[in-house]
Amino acid sequence: MPGPEYSTHAKTSEIDNKNELQDKNRSSVEIQSNAIHNGAQEEHDEKHSRNIKVYLSTDSIAFFLLGMLVGLPCTTITAAAKAMFTGVTGAYGLCAFVTAAITSFATPLFAHLIPYTLKTVILVVAGVASFGICTLGSNVAGPVVGTMLGGATYAFGSNTYLAVAASFPQFTVVSFSSGCGFSVVFGPALYIALMKPLDQSWKKVFWTCMALPIGMCPVWWIMLSSERRKEAERVRGLAMDRRDSPSGDSTESNSTKSEFKSTTPLQVEKSCPGGFGKDRSRLGLFFKIILPRYVVPLLLCTTSAITTMLGLSPTLQDLRSFKGSPHGDLQFEICYLAYGFGQFLFSTLSMRFKLTFIWGWAIMQIAIVVIGVIQLFSPFLKYYPAWVVFLFLVGGGVGGGVTNTNYKIADDFRRQGEPEEVRSFAMSYGGLGNFGGDALGGSLAILVEVLATKYLKKHVH
């Protein structure tokens, strides 16, 4: 027979076990309650995002400014493409967009190794350097290297901040895309505005613009929510844990067997069975899902647009195809400004009216480039203002395509309940179709310019 001490100890142990079981049950109920609450909150946030007021929040404005600032080096340099690359403007496309496409593909594969704060510093330094390097020397070496750096900066910045947006409300994706679209307006407008007071010297304009990328620092450290920035770093750290773990799963993931759908960016994911590991690789996800569903249609959309903007437009200018056009490089600069304004306007309208059938944007742009080719051989748009309106629509197709693609990636992966690590990776590839299309379009633009200059005659008005 056990003694009184043993009996007392057994009862105490039984009580402790019951208390521990109650604590576990309470914790499980709290987790499920939080999941339900977060799910309801996300549904509320999604409905609230339809209200234009959310786009005036501090986070939304911050992402808009980040999109504008990462794009400014590339878009401002683009406005000077006709002056820097006389004769073959499409060469600019190869310099900027091939580099951007390579950067856009490679960055998400290793970007989780670099803290976001360090990435912001890198972007500021690269943006300043891209303007400065373009002005070095008397030949094209400086412009080529500076242009390549500007394209890489744009792509690296897009990858970085789209990944960060996975830890913020979903409307920030649209705000960032709209900011990128606005950079295509603000860059050329600033370039044109500064040319006259700076003696028509594009180098002096670039020296003046070197201060612009520094604006990313206060936006990142002051305007963006510090809590959500820390959450983005936590997600990046989770990716690091998975990478370093021998089994491919993070310690955090193995600490519990419970599984529930992630519902808010700030929720700590105790179980991420859908994350990256031995059964799911980043490259596998890219080639099986991201590439065919999101990258290819946007690539076709952007390729058509860049072929028109950097190939057909300067070629028609050289062939003197329009009546009432301004003289010199101003003709190209106004066209690019109209292109940029269309991109910004359609991107901004996508905040309110989302058309996420990405192939529709691609088909529209292909039809537009066919019209542009017809204009090359049999001009029917006789007056320059008509061509400016045409390029406005070309830019609008790009703005709508890019913004809706970015939004669709974020929305699809969120609805599938993917963990933040996966959503962040997928969203960082939102710009690949854009930059890849820029590179391919730049190549086709060179082909158009060379063949047209060789075989087509100038028009006499």
More reliable by pLDDT, 279 or 396: 396
Residue 28 has pLDDT above 80, yes or no: no
Residue 76 has pLDDT above 70, yes or no: yes
pLDDT score, position 17: 52
Residue spans of beta strands (DSSP E) within 274-397: none
For 323, the 3-state DSSP assignment is strand
pLDDT score, position 299: 94
More reliable by pLDDT, 251 or 340: 340
Please give the average per-residue pLDDT across 49-71, as a whole number. Answer: 82
pLDDT averaged over every residue in the chain: 79
Q: Which residue has the tokens 């911050």?
A: 62
pLDDT score, position 39: 44
Residue 225 has pLDDT above 50, yes or no: yes
pLDDT score, position 261: 39
Please give the average per-residue pLDDT across 326-348, as a whole number. Answer: 85
Residue 213 has pLDDT above 90, yes or no: yes
Residue 298 has pLDDT above 90, yes or no: yes
Query: What pTM, to 2 d.p., does this model score?
Result: 0.73
Q: Rounded distance, CA 14 to CA 85, Å?
A: 83
For 161, the 3-state DSSP assignment is helix
Residue 62 has pLDDT above 90, yes or no: yes
Tally: H helices and E strands in the chain: 20, 0
Q: Does domain 54-239+282-455 have CATH number 3.40.190.10?
A: no
CB 331 within 8 A of CB 325: yes
Digit-coded pLDDT (tens) for 108-130: 888 888 999 999 999 999 999 99
Mean pLDDT lowest for which of 32-46, 173-187, 387-401? Answer: 32-46
Handedness of CA 325, 326, 329, 330 (dihedral sign): negative
Residue 301 has pLDDT above 90, yes or no: yes
Q: Rounded distance, CA 70 to CA 89, Å?
A: 23
Highest mean pLDDT among 12-16, 346-350, 358-362: 358-362
Residue 365 has pLDDT above 60, yes or no: yes
Tokens of 460: 């006499």
pLDDT score, position 375: 82
Residue 6 has pLDDT above 50, yes or no: no
CA–centroid distance for 303 within its chain: 16
DSSP 8-state symbol, 151: H
Residue 262 has pLDDT above 50, yes or no: no
